């Protein structure tokens, strides 16, 4: 007879905090999931007996390594790199790489943990991982970026592989950085395999991967609205960030008849009451990816818009909101302001942009709230499709991929409904996403026994 450790939610979280001291982001991500899972597994003995949640909340491994590189003045710089391989129960580890000064083991563990549930929700066979370095690309020359990427891959290459772990981009890592890293992987190993996604189209990349996360977050928003008899036509959207996810979310809002009115970066936000058009969004894309400029310059370029230094856009009145910058960028006070100003739906383009208090405010107000693990899964889903195209040595057309992305986002929405419907038309998407993602990974783990 097995000894079943029926630890309660408080005891479980106490253990997570004790085992992961000084890792607030990781503890926050585990708590958000555990709040729902404890309720779900209350009468499911095998999940307790096999300690499934405890095992998912302990990464399979965390690899940390030194990254040395030489700057343009000949000085040697030393950074720390990581790859967190959280769980590969349903497929090879999969998740992005982040280069940002605030990257830490805690941030990457939270992202790899979230990624495990997100990837399961897509319905594709991908486990969860995440990596990166505390490297600040801001102000670095192109040569410095290249040397850093090469040095990073010189260590990372031994831990990854097309059937082992397949990284991609995230904050600070776009097509340029993926190119430098793929080139270095190929040079070291002499293997041309689908070891990274987000690659250029010339060397194995997939159409619509750059657009997929932002478009997917808006498709998910449209699914939630449709479920309550609404659509995006004529809706004002407040968006944060001005990178890959934010600009493509703004673009899709325009395609679907909505009006995005804000974007932001770490310096502040711009407000354009007339709405960002496709031309204005293209200017932002060029400004950020090629000129590497600040969002404040938008207000100099486009009459009628204003820049708000050091502020976030959550006090601007809107119908829908898409936080697409970074974790914990929206707190309880911001959430109350959004609800008071008439926001009816929020879709998290970024990973964990809303803190726990904000999530509770949205749930209490019963607005439509899509957590990142459901809403921003379009990016990793198209990465999964890039892996399929690489393995089968073929390329799907843009039309085929657009349809697959839409179908995947719609499938995620349906999976959320299965466990999230709470009566009276209200759907708790956080609960729905957590339980649907957990169940798939947990059932695979049960099949493997104690490993
Ligand atoms: N790129 C992808 O496919 C996916 C990205 N995500 C998440 O979306 C978010 C944005 O990622 P990307 O757009 O890819 O990165 P990016 O590097 O293209 O853009 C990041 C944006 O966030 C802004 N930002 C960074 N720190 C900030 C801060 N402290 N305050 C305000 N703004 C800040 C930057 O100025 C930039 O506009 C991240 O949370 C990322 O993990 C999630 C799923 C997939
Ligand atoms: O495409 C991928 O593998 C990475 C996506 C990612 O990092 C994320 O979903 O947060």
* CATH for 67: 3.40.50.10860
422 belongs to a structural domain: no
Regarding whether 172 and 71 lie in a shared domain, the answer is yes
Q: What's the CATH code of the domain at 273?
A: 3.40.50.720
| Active site annotation includes 138 | no
215 belongs to a structural domain: yes
Which segments of the chain have a pLDDT < 70? 1-6
In this structure, the residues whose C-beta lies within 6 A of any atom of ligand 2 are 94-96, 115, 118, 168, 170, 197, 351, 376, 379-380, 383
220 belongs to a structural domain: yes
For residue 1, what pLDDT is reported? Answer: 41
The tokens of 168 are what?
């991609």
451 belongs to a structural domain: no
For residue 5, what pLDDT is reported? Answer: 56
Regarding whether 110 and 181 lie in a shared domain, the answer is yes
* Distance, CA of 187 to CA of 182 (rounded, Å): 8
130 belongs to a structural domain: yes
- Tens of pLDDT, residue by residue over 113-171, are 999 999 999 999 999 999 999 999 999 999 999 999 999 999 999 999 999 999 999 99
pTM beyond cutoff 0.80: yes
Do the Cβ atoms of 340 and 314 come closer than 8 Å? no
376 belongs to a structural domain: no
337 belongs to a structural domain: yes
Do the Cβ atoms of 317 and 236 come closer than 8 Å? yes
Instruction: State ipTM.
Output: 0.98
Alpha helices for 261-355 (secondary structure H):
278-289, 297-301, 332-340
Alpha helices for 157-196 (secondary structure H):
175-189
Regarding whether 220 and 339 lie in a shared domain, the answer is yes
Regarding whether 350 and 282 lie in a shared domain, the answer is yes
* Distance, CA of 50 to CA of 45 (rounded, Å): 9
Find the catalytic residue in 17, 44, 109, 130. 130
Residue with tokens 């601007």: 316
The tokens of 325 are what?
């910058």
Regarding whether 353 and 290 lie in a shared domain, the answer is yes
Chain CA centroid to CA 397, Å = 25
Regarding whether 324 and 270 lie in a shared domain, the answer is yes
The tokens of 426 are what?
């209200």
Regarding whether 263 and 184 lie in a shared domain, the answer is no
Q: Which of 354, 370, 386 is the last residue of a domain?
A: 370
SS3 67: strand
Handedness of CA 286, 289, 293, 297 (dihedral sign): positive
Distance 251 CA to ligand 2 centre (A): 20
For residue 443, what pLDDT is reported? Answer: 98
The tokens of 81 are what?
């790199």
The tokens of 23 are what?
């890792």
Regarding whether 362 and 219 lie in a shared domain, the answer is yes
439 belongs to a structural domain: no
- Tens of pLDDT, residue by residue over 14-66, are 999 999 999 999 999 999 999 999 999 999 999 999 999 999 999 999 999 99
Q: Which of 141, 160, 193 is the last residue of a domain?
A: 193
Count CB-CB contacts under 10 A for residue 84: 27
* Distance, CA of 147 to CA of 172 (rounded, Å): 15
Q: Is 88 in the pocket of ligand 1 (CB under 6 A)?
A: no
Regarding whether 323 and 187 lie in a shared domain, the answer is no
Regarding whether 227 and 354 lie in a shared domain, the answer is yes
Nearest atom of ligand 1 to the alpha carbon of 98 = 41
Regarding whether 70 and 97 lie in a shared domain, the answer is yes
Q: Please tell me the number of the ligand nearest to residue 92's CA.
A: 2
Pairing of β 93-99 and β 262-265: unpaired
Count of structural domains, the chain: 3
Instruction: Name which of 333, 339, 296 is nearest 317 in CA terms.
Output: 339
The residue range of the domain holding 314 is 210-370
Regarding whether 219 and 116 lie in a shared domain, the answer is no
Residues near 45 by Cβ (< 8 Å), separated by ≥ 6? 4
* Distance, CA of 429 to CA of 414 (rounded, Å): 10
């Amino acid at each position: 007879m097995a000894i079943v450790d029926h630890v309660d939610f408080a005891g479980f979280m106490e253990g997570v905090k004790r085992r992961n001291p000084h890792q607030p982001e990781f503890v926050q991500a585990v708590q958000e999931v555990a709040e729902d899972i404890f309720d779900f597994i209350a009468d499911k003995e095998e999940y307790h007996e096999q300690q499934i949640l405890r095992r998912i909340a302990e990464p399979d491994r965390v690899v940390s390594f030194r990254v040395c590189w030489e700057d343009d003045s000949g000085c040697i710089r030393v950074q720390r790199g990581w790859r967190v391989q959280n769980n590969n129960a349903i497929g090879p580890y999969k998740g992005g790489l982040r280069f940002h000064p605030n990257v830490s083991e805690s941030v990457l563990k939270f992202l790899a943990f979230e990624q495990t549930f997100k990837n399961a929700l897509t319905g594709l066979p991908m486990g969860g991982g995440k990596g990166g370095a505390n490297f600040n690309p801001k102000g670095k020359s192109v040569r410095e970026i290249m040397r850093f990427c090469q040095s990073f891959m010189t260590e990372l290459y031994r831990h990854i592989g097309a059937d082992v772990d397949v990284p991609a981009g995230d904050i600070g890592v776009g097509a340029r950085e993926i190119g430098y890293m793929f080139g270095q992987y190929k040079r070291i190993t002499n293997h041309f395999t689908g070891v990274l996604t987000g690659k250029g189209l010339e060397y194995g990349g997939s159409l619509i991967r750059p657009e997929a996360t932002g478009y997917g977050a808006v498709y998910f928003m449209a699914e939630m609205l449709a479920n309550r008899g609404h659509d995006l036509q004529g809706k004002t959207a407040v968006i944060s960030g001005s990178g890959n996810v934010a600009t493509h979310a703004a673009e899709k809002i325009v395609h679907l008849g909505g009006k995005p009115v804000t974007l932001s970066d770490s310096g502040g936000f711009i407000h354009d009451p007339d709405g960002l058009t496709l031309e204005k969004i293209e200017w932002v894309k060029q400004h950020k990816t090629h000129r590497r400029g600040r969002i404040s310059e938008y207000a100099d370029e486009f009459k009628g818009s204003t820049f708000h230094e050091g502020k976030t856009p959550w006090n601007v009145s809107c119908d829908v909101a898409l936080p697409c910058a970074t974790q914990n960028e929206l707190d309880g006070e911001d959430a109350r302001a959004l609800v008071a100003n008439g926001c009816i739906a929020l879709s998290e383009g970024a990973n964990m942009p809303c803190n726990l208090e904000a999530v509770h405010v949205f749930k209490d107000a019963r607005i439509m709230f899509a957590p990142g693990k459901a809403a921003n899964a379009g990016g990793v889903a198209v990465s999964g499709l890039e892996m399929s195209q690489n393995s089968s040595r073929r390329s799907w057309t843009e039309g085929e991929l657009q349809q697959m992305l839409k179908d995947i986002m719609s499938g995620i929405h349906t999976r959320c409904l299965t466990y999230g419907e709470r009566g009276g038309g209200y759907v708790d998407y956080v609960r729905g996403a957590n339980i649907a993602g957990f169940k798939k990974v947990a059932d695979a783990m049960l099949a493997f026994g104690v490993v």
